[in-house]
Chain A
Amino acid sequence: MLIKLQNVYKIYSEGLEAEVRALDGINLEIDYGEFVAVVGPSGSGKSTLMNILGCLDVPSHGSYWIDGVDVNERSDAQLSFLRNKQIGFIFQSFNLIASMNALENVELPLIYQGIAPAKRQALAMEALGRVGLAQRSHHRPSEMSGGQQQRVAIARAIATKPPIIMADEPTGALDSKTGREVLSFLQGLNREGSTIILITHDNSIAATAKRLVRISDGRIVEDKRQEVSWA
Chain B
Amino acid sequence: MNLWQAFKMALRSIRGNKGRSFLTMLGIIIGIAAVMATVSIIQGMNQKSMEMYERMGSNQIMVNANAYNGMPLFDDLYEYCLQLNDLVEGVTPQGSFNGTVTYGTKNSANMDMPPQVFLGSHQYSLCNNFQIARGRDVTKIDVDNDNNVCVLGSAAAKAFFDLSDPLGQSLAINGVPFTVVGIYMEKDPQDQPGWYSMDNMVLLPYTASRALKQDMSSFMSQLVVKAKNGPAAKEATTRIIGFLTNLLGDPNDPANTKGSFFVSNQDSWKDESAQVANMMSMVLGGIAGISLLVGGIGIMNIMLVTVTERTREIGIRRAIGAQRKSIVMQFLIEAGVICGIGGVIGVLLGTVLSVIGGQLLLKMRILPSPTITLGAVLFSVALGIIFGLYPAIKASGLQPVAALRAE
Contacts and interface: CB of A to CB of B under 8 A. Distances in A.
A113 B321 contact: yes
Interface in B316-346: 316-326
Interface stretch (B78-86, B88-96, B224-232, B396-404): B396-404
Contact of A95 (B13, B16, B319): B319
A11 B32 CA distance: 52
A40 interface: no
A77 B1 CA distance: 12
A116 B323 CA distance: 18
A112 B13 contact: no
B320 A83 contact: yes
A99 interface: yes
B400 A109 contact: no
Interface string A90-103: 01000111011000
B401 A112 contact: no
Interface residues of B, number: 24
Interface in A128-170: 156, 160
A113 B323 CA distance: 10
Interface stretch (A51-59, A174-182, A186-194, A214-222): A51-59
Nearest to A94: B316
A149 to B, nearest CB: 13
Given A80-B322, A108-B317, A113-B321, A99 B400 contact: no
Nearest to B2: A114
A112 B315 CA distance: 14
B15 to A, nearest CB: 9
Nearest to B326: A112
A95 B321 contact: no
Most buried by A among B13, B315, B321, B404: B321
Contacts, number: 67
Contact of B320 (A58, A99, A109): A109
A158 to B, nearest CB: 12
A157 B399 CA distance: 20
B13 A99 contact: yes
A112 B6 CA distance: 10
B313 A51 contact: no
B322 A112 contact: yes
A76 interface: yes
Interface string B292-320: 00000000000000000000110111111
Contact of A80 (B2, B321, B404): B321
Interface string A46-80: 00000100101110000000000000000011001
B5 interface: yes
Contact of B319 (A56, A85, A111): A56
B16 A99 contact: yes
Nearest to B321: A84
A96 B12 CA distance: 16
A85 B322 CA distance: 11
A97 B400 contact: no
A142 to B, nearest CB: 13
A176 B400 CA distance: 30
A35 interface: no
A118 B13 CA distance: 22
A57 B13 CA distance: 28
Contacts of B317: 97, 108, 112
Given A95-B316, A112-B326, A56 B399 contact: yes
A89 interface: yes
B400 A156 contact: no
B16 A57 contact: no
Contact of B404 (A56, A76, A81, A108): A56
Contacts of A113: 321
A77 B324 CA distance: 7
Contacts of A108: 317, 320
Nearest to A80: B323
A185 B181 CA distance: 108
A111 B1 contact: yes
A89 B319 contact: yes
Nearest to A159: B320
Going nearest first, the 5 A-B pairs with the smallest beta carbon separation are A84-B321, A80-B323, A56-B400, A57-B401, A56-B401
Given A83-B320, A109-B320, 11 more contacts: A56-B399, A57-B401, A76-B323, A76-B324, A80-B321, A81-B321, A83-B319, A95-B315, A99-B12, A112-B323, A113-B321
12 contacts: A54-B319, A56-B401, A56-B404, A83-B319, A89-B319, A91-B404, A95-B316, A95-B319, A97-B313, A108-B317, A111-B1, A112-B322
Interface of A: 51, 54, 56-58, 76-77, 80-81, 83-85, 89, 91, 95-97, 99-100, 108-109, 111-114, 156, 160
